[in-house]
A and B are shown apart, each in its own frame.
Chain A
C-alpha cells in the first residue's frame, strides 16, 4: 500500500472527486471560448500570417533578404532555431525524466508542456529548413538512393546528425504525447452528445475500452517511451551544441557545450511552461490542479538549471583566460566589451542574476513575479544563442573579414511569425484537447489531494 508523508503538500486542492476532475477538464472543450481567448487567437493568427508572408518572400527571392552576410552567415535563423528547440525540452523532461523519478506534480503540467514541445519543434524546423537557402532541395539531407550525381549525405557533419536527432525527437515526442491522450480522448468521447464530435473523439481515442488489458498495455508503452525519450532529452540539444563545438572557432569550440546546452534548454523550456501555465490555469479555472506548489517546483527547476548555466558561463570565461590562447581570450573580451556588449550583459542579467531571486520563497510563490521572470528568462536565453553566434562570427581570426550584423524586417517577421504560430496552435490545443492528463491525475487523487490527505486514516 502506498503511504504519503504528512509533510508533503497536497497537489490537488479543494473539493475533489473523479467526476469533478472529468468535469473540470472537459469544460473548455464543451463550452464556448470567451472574449480573451478570441483576442489572443486573432492576434496570434495575424502574426502567424505575417510570418508566412515573410517566409514566402524569402523563398521567392532567396535568403539575401535576411541580414546574414558573408562573415556572419549564421544569425537570426540559427539563433531562433536553437531557441525554439531549447524551449521544447521541458516537455520531454517533464513527461519522461520526471516520470522515471515518479514526481507526482508532473501530472498537472505534462500534457500542455508536451504540446508545447511539439509546437516548439515545429517552429524550430521552419528555420533549419529555410536556412539551407533552397528548401525545395532539403530532401537531399536524407541518405536517399544516389541519383544526384556524386551527392551523398555527409555523415561526418554535425548538421547531418541534427537532421536525425531533431526528427527522432519530434516523432518520439509526438507518439508519447498521443499515447497519453488516448484515455483522455475516450473520456471526452463518452461525454460528447453531438454525433460528429462523438465520432471524432471515437476515432481519436482508437476505440479505447478502459479494460484492464488496455490499461496494462498503456502503462507498458508509457514506460518504454519514457525510457526512449530520456536519452533524447540529452541527445538533441547535445547534438545542436555540436553544430558549434565541433568547429575550431574560439567561443564555439568548448567541451562543456553539450551538457551546458541541455541545462539551458531545460531552463528556457520551464520558463515557457510557466508563461503558458500561469495564463492557462487562470483562463480555464484550473487553479486547484496547477497550484502554487506546482509553480514553486517549476521555479526551483529554473533556479537549478539557471545556476548550472551560470556555472558553465563562468567556466567558459575562466578557461578562456586559463587556456593562454589569445584567440580564446579575445573572443570573450569581445563578447563582454565589444560592439555587442549589450547582448552579452542582457544574457548575463536575465539568465544568471535574475533567476537567483527565486531563492526567496516569497518571490517564487508569487504568480505575478513568476510570470515576469519567465519572460525575462526567455529573453535571456534568446540572447544567449545570439551571443554565441553573432559576435563570434562578426570577429573571427582575420580582422579584414570583420563586419557587423543587423536583422532585416524579414528576419524579424519570420521570428514573430513563429511566435504567432506557436500561440495559434497552443490556443487551439486548449480548446479541443484535454489540457490536463485527467487519467493520471485520478491516480493520485486519493494519495495527494487536500481533501483525502485531511481525512482520518480509516476513511481512505
Chain B
C-alpha cells in the first residue's frame, strides 16, 4: 500500500484561512476606528485600552499554542514516547507557529514600553516618581524587577531560547528523515531535557511578567503553573483537531484509533489539570480572604460584571471534557472530540480574556467585534501558517527510532 505522505494545502482551506484573516482584519480595524472609549473621556486621553487588551489576549493565547506544542515535542523526546511518532509532524508544524506568534507577542508588549498602549500600569514612569501624583509605593518597591533593561532581557531572552530550541528540535527531526540512524534522535533527547528545565523555570516567570503584572499589586504563587496548563491544553486541542482533519482527508493512514484515543486522553487529562489548578488557586484565596489577594477575584466576581462569564469558563472547561470524554468510546469518536475540542478551545481563549480584561478594561465590555476581530485574524493566520508548514515535510518521520512501534500502537 502506498501511503500518502505529502500533504497538499487545498485551495479551499487556503481561501477559508484568507477569509478568516480578511474578516478578522476588517473587524479589528473597524473596532479601532469606532473605539471612542468610555463616555466622558477627554479627547486624546483614551489609549484604546479595549482594543489593545484584545490584541494582547490573542497574541498570548495563540503564542501559547506554539509554545505548548514545543513543550509537548520536548516532553515526548525526553519521556521515550513511541505512540506520538505517528503524528509527530503535526505538532511539529504547530510548534513552528511559535516563530510567528512569539515575535508578535513581544512586539505587542514592546508597544506598551513606547506608551502606544497603557495595559501595563508599571510601564508608566510616573508611578516611580515620588513627586508625581501617580506615585505608587507598592509598584515603586518593585522597580528593580520592572526596570526596562531587566524586563526586556527576560522577555527577549526567554522567547529567543524557546524559539531556538524549537528550531533545533524541528531541524534535527527533518534531518533524521534524510540521514537515518539514531544520532539526531539522541541529540534531540538532550536538547529536549535542556529545554524542559529552562521552560520549567521561565514559563512561570513569563506568566508573571506578561499577564500577572497587568494586576501589578496582586500576586499568586500558583499563577505560572495555572497559565502553563492552559497553554498546554490549547496546544493539545490544536494538534488533535488537525490530526482528525488530516485523517478525514485521506492522510495519516498510519494513525489508528489508538493514537486518537491517546490524544483524547491528553485532552481529558490536561483539562483536569487545568481545573485542579484553577480550583486550588481560587479556593485558597477565597477561603483565606486576605485583602491583598482577594481583590483579584473581587474584580472578577463582584464589581465588574464578569460573574457569569467567570463561572462559565470554569464549568465549561472542567465539566465538558469530564462528562463527554470520560468513556473510552468517546475518546475514539471524532464527532465528540471535535465538538468538545472546539468549545473548550474557545473557552480557554476566554480564560485568557478573564485574566486580561478585568485588569485592563475594568468593567465587562462583553463579546463584540473587538473580541471577534483579532480572534479571527489570529485563527486565520494560524491555519494558513500551520497547514502550509505541513506541506514542507513528509507526514511520517520515516527514520524515527520508535516509528515501527508507533505504527503497531494498540491499546
Where the two chains meet, the residues of A that have a C-beta atom closer than 8 Å to any C-beta of B are: 1-8, 100, 102, 231, 234, 238, 242, 245-248, 253-259, 307-308, 311-312, 314-316, 319, 322-325
Is there contact, CB below 8 Å, between B285 and A8?
Answer: no
How far is B224's CA from A308's CA once the two chains are assembled, in angstroms?
12
Is the beta-carbon distance between B138 and A324 smaller than 8 angstroms? yes
Interface stretch, picked from B45-53, B276-284, B384-392, is: B276-284
- In this complex, the member of A248, A256, A319 whose beta carbon has the largest number of chain B beta carbons within 10 angstroms is A256
Q: Are A258 and B197 in contact (CB under 8 A)?
A: no
Contact check, A8 vs B80: say whether CB atoms are below 8 A apart. yes
Known contacts A248-B288, A255-B281: A324-B408 contact under CB 8 Å: no
Within B105-151, the residues touching A (CB, 8 Å) are: 138, 141-142, 145
B284 touches A245 (CB 8 A): yes
Q: How far apart are the CA atoms of A254 and B221 in the complex, in Å?
A: 6
Interface residues on B, range: 35 or more
Q: How far is B407's CA from A175's CA once the two chains are assembled, in angstroms?
A: 36
Shortest beta-carbon distance, A165 to chain B, in Å? 14
Which residues of B sit under 8 angstroms from A307, Cβ to Cβ? 197, 200
Asked if A246 and B288 make an inter-chain contact with CB atoms under 8 angstroms apart, the answer reads yes
B204 on the interface (CB 8 Å rule)?
A: yes
- Report how many A-B pairs have Cβ atoms within 8 Å: 88
Q: Which of B80, B217, B276 is the one whose CB lies under 8 Å from A234?
A: B276
The stretch that binds A, out of B238-246, B329-337, B363-371, B397-405, is B397-405
Contact of A325 among B292, B402, B405 (CB under 8 A): B292
Cβ–Cβ < 8 Å partners of B221 in chain A: 254-257, 312, 315-316, 319
The minimal Cβ–Cβ distance linking B352 to chain A, given in whole angstroms, is 19
Cα separation A242 to B142 with both chains bound (whole Å) = 29
Chain B interface mostly: helix
Determine if A255 and B408 form an interchain contact, defined as CB atoms under 8 angstroms apart.
Answer: no
Chain A residue nearest to B218 in the complex (CB): A323
Q: Is A253 touching B284 in the complex (CB atoms < 8 A)?
A: yes
In the complex, chain A residues whose CB is within 8 Å of the CB of B405: 3-5
User: Which residues of A sit under 8 angstroms from B145, Cβ to Cβ?
Assistant: 322
How far apart are the CA atoms of A3 and B85 in the complex, in Å? 14
Asked if B182 contacts A319 (CB within 8 A), the reply is no
Report A-chain residues with C-beta under 8 Å of the C-beta of B288. Answer: 245-248, 253
B262-294 contact mask (Cβ, 8 Å, vs A): 1 or 0: 000100000010001100110111011010100
Contact B82 A259, beta carbon cutoff 8 Å: no
Given A5-B402, A5-B405, are A324 and B142 neighbors across the interface (CB < 8 Å)?
yes
B225 pairs with A256, CB closer than 8 A: yes
Write out the residue numbers on chain A whose beta carbons fall within 8 Å of the beta carbon of B197.
Answer: 307
Are A311 and B200 in contact, with the CB atoms below 8 A? yes
Task: Find chain B residues with CB under 8 A from A8 CB.
Answer: 80
With contacts A257-B284, A259-B280, A323-B292 taken as known, whether A3 is within 8 angstroms of B219 at the C-beta atoms is no
Checking B200, B283, B292 against A308 with a beta-carbon cut-off of 8 angstroms, the contacting residue is: B200
A7 B182 Cβ-Cβ under 8 A: yes
Given the known interface contacts A322-B142, A323-B292, the answer about A256 and B222 at a Cβ–Cβ threshold of 8 Å is yes
